[in-house]
């Protein structure tokens, strides 16, 4: 379908000119009168096309090079036809390389949407050929190109010209010549194709710690010795080590290498972060601080970012008057029970094969009690790791790690991680339970409506630890001031002070400064981790598989939910400032 404006002294003359221009009969042309009077010039729009085509014609345009100038004609859409895209018109005019193009004339005509206007002086028509439009992403990681169609008779674009176009647009790195060839050969005009990609930076690798001993929680199960047999005397209770055994290896961080954008600019890589070997007891570190070895035989644990190697102190039978209290730098194993009034202190773990009466167990690591605790309101367990116990009656358990118990009756339990009440009953009855992580239980409370307080998301030990670390960091800052003053004093008194004394004070100051810097680095890492834990304190939940009885109080964050009627198979969580509950989010198989 074609369209054009015609102007003549009469309508008939204008129509005749149109029929001559299109070289067809009148039945093939639709005429629209634009303007005209009996004694004046007439302007018509002639549209050539199949019958009915003009009824829904899309808007279009024409460009004419005449003796008195270059003219642009716009033809408005008809019926359901699409309107004209003025950007397409301007893009076409730009590619035509029209000399002294009158942009205001084009804009005025485009604002009208139809008509004819002179847009430039008389000149030779330029027939444009293929071209490419280059698009570079904001991060300069990719460059795409669109192949622009030529006019009829216009030249095609060759590979060298296309590559030069990329250079002119700033694309000088990572050009995919095969993709550029495909773009030119496919002739998918207007479709973008990636023709250049940046060389990404090679990020450095972080330093890593490789532990050469198991960090898995001990299962307490007998060790298999082959042939379907097990050794009931060798229980999986701790990780044994030998003297000189390699415990931890550190791999160094790497810097990586720069990348290059499609514009040839450097893309900075992420340098790897170094890591230090963990603190340790009864270990030695090589000179370049890449390996840690045990200095004695015994057992090893990783607790609170510390590698602890220690011997195991074993008590055959009960811990009673014949044994007395125990304070041991290592682990303690008791094959019997711990009687009332006794205190067992261990820097690592404590294992009791029997039960615990109104006694005290204090461990830097895990505590496992095969039986239970009859605490008589005096029994107490403190653990830097996990606590695994059959039952607790009128006792207190405070742990940094997870606590696992079958039944807790009128007891106090605090843990910095999770509490699982699992087993035949899986119940928490009475007392106070404060847990930083989740609680998983079958029952909370009792039919007698016994008051049972349960709180999750609390971390009293971590809060106390933050306060302690802040005091230590303040002390180190104060020491730094004193050491700076000492350096100033030594620098001014070297000439008058006894050389031996001056050397001794200098070495002492340097050593104290080194120790303070190492401690400050460790404290900073620890306090950042503790603060992150506190920020997520309201994410903890209480999962109950069977029943929560009336009289129970569920506390999360700043809100308390008082249970007034029995609720079954439920999960309590914190949402928008209050404790809410719904169907249990775990299944019994998750226990």
Q: Express each pLDDT in 45-96 by its tens digit.
A: 999 987 788 888 999 999 999 999 999 999 999 989 999 998 889 999 999 9
pLDDT of residue 534: 66
Provide DSSP, 277-301: PPEEESEEE-TTS-EEEESSSEEEE
pLDDT band at residue 100 using 50, 70 and 90 as cut-offs: very high
Whole-model pTM?
A: 0.44
Q: How many CB atoms lie within 10 A of CB 32?
A: 16
Q: Which of 192-206, 287-301, 535-549 has the highest mean pLDDT?
A: 192-206
pLDDT of residue 233: 35
Reply yes or no on whether the pLDDT at 221 is more than 60.
no
pLDDT of residue 82: 92
Cα distance between residue 547 and residue 525, in whole Å: 42
Label each residue of 332-357 as H, E or C. EEECCCECCCCEEEECCCEEECCCEC
Beta bridge partners of 14: none
Provide DSSP, 29-81: EEEEEEE--TTS-EEEEEEE-STTGGGGPPPEEEEEEETTEEEEEEE---TTP
pLDDT of residue 223: 56
* Average pLDDT value for the chain: 90
Cα distance between residue 108 and residue 117, in whole Å: 9
Average pLDDT, stretch 276-288? Answer: 91
First-to-last C-alpha distance (Å) of the chain: 76
Q: How many CB atoms lie within 10 A of CB 8?
A: 17
Residue 480 corresponds to which tokens in the numbers above?
């730094």
Reply yes or no on whether the pLDDT at 231 is more than 60.
no
Q: Which of 555, 548, 591, 552 is nearest to 570 (CA)?
A: 548
Average pLDDT, stretch 314-330? Answer: 83
Burial level of 495, CB count in 10 A (0-12/13-18/19+)?
A: exposed
pLDDT of residue 139: 92
- CA dihedral for 530, 534, 539, 541, sign (positive or negative): positive
Cα distance between residue 282 and residue 345, in whole Å: 18
Residue 196 or residue 463, greater confidence: 196
In this structure, the strands spanning 298-303 and 306-310 are: antiparallel
Share of the chain above pLDDT 90, in %: 68
Average pLDDT, stretch 367-381? Answer: 95
Residue 152 corresponds to which tokens in the numbers above?
């009829």
pLDDT of residue 226: 65
Q: What is the pLDDT of residues 412-465, one digit of tens each?
A: 999 988 999 988 899 999 999 999 889 999 999 999 999 999 999 877 677 788
Instruction: Mention every residue, 6+ apart, whose C-beta is less than 8 A from residue 560.
Output: 553, 554, 579
pLDDT of residue 170: 94
Cα distance between residue 551 and residue 561, in whole Å: 10
Query: Which spans in 298-402 are helix H?
Result: none
Question: What are the C-alpha distances in Å from 76 to residues 14, 41, 89, 124?
Answer: 20, 22, 13, 28
pLDDT of residue 577: 85
Question: What are the C-alpha distances in Å from 446 to residues 365, 438, 582?
Answer: 33, 21, 20
pLDDT of residue 192: 94
Reply yes or no on whether the pLDDT at 399 is more than 50.
yes
């Amino acid at each position: 379908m074609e369209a054009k404006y015609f102007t003549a002294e009469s309508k008939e003359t204008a129509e005749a000119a149109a029929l001559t221009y299109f070289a067809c009969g009148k039945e093939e042309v639709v005429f629209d009168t634009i303007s005209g009077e009996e004694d004046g010039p007439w302007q018509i729009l002639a549209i050539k096309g199949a019958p009915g085509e003009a009824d829904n014609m899309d808007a279009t345009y024409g460009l004419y090079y005449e003796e008195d100038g270059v003219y642009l004609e716009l033809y408005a859409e008809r019926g359901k036809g699409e309107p004209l895209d003025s950007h397409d018109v301007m893009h076409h005019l730009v590619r035509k390389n029209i000399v002294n193009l009158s942009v205001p004339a084009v804009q005025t005509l485009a604002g009208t949407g139809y008509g004819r206007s002179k847009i430039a002086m008389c000149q030779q028509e330029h027939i444009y050929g293929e071209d490419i439009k280059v698009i570079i992403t904001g991060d300069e990681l990719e460059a795409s190109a669109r192949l622009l169609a030529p006019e009829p008779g216009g030249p095609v674009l060759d590979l060298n010209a296309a590559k030069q176009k990329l250079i002119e647009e700033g694309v000088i790195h990572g050009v995919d010549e095969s993709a550029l060839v495909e773009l030119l050969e496919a002739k998918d005009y207007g479709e973008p194709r990636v023709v250049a990609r940046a060389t990404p930076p090679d990020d450095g690798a972080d330093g890593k710690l490789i532990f050469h001993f198991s960090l898995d929680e001990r299962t307490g199960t007998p060790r298999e010795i082959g042939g379907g047999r097990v050794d009931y005397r060798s229980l999986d209770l701790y990780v044994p080590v030998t003297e000189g055994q390699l415990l931890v290896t550190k791999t160094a961080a790497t810097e990586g290498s720069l990348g290059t954008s499609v514009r040839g600019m450097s893309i900075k890589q992420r340098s790897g972060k170094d890591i230090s070997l963990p603190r340790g007891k009864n270990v030695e570190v090589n000179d370049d601080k890449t390996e840690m070895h045990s200095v004695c035989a015994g057992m090893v644990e990783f607790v609170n970012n510390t590698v602890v190697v220690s011997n195991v102190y074993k008590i055959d039978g009960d811990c009673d008057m014949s044994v007395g209290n125990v304070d041991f730098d290592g682990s303690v194993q008791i094959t019997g029970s711990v009687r009332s009034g006794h205190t067992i202190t261990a820097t690592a773990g404590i294992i009791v094969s029997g039960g615990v009466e109104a006694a005290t167990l204090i461990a830097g690591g895990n505590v496992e009690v095969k039986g239970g605790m009859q605490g008589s309101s005096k029994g107490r367990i403190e653990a830097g790791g996990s606590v695994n116990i059959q039952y607790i009656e009128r006792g207190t358990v405070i742990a940094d790690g997870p606590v696992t118990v079958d039944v807790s009756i009128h007891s106090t339990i605090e843990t910095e991680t999770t509490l699982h009440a699992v087993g035949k009953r899986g119940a928490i009855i009475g007392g106070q339970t404060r847990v930083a992580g989740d609680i998983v239980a079958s029952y909370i409370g009792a039919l007698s409506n016994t008051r049972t307080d349960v709180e999750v998301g609390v971390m009293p030990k971590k809060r106390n630890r933050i306060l302690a670390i802040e005091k230590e960091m303040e002390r180190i800052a104060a020491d730094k001031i004193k050491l700076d003053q000492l350096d100033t004093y030594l620098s001014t008194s070297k000439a008058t002070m006894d050389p031996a004394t001056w050397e001794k004070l200098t070495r002492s100051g340097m050593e104290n400064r080194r120790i303070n810097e190492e401690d400050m680095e460790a404290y900073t890492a620890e306090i950042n981790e503790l603060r992150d834990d506190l920020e997520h304190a309201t994410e903890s939940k209480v999962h109950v598989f069977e029943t929560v009885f009336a009289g129970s109080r569920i506390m999360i964050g700043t809100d308390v939910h008082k249970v007034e009627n029995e609720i079954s198979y439920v999960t309590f969580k914190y949402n928008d400032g209050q404790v809410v509950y719904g169907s249990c989010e775990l299944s019994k198989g998750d226990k």
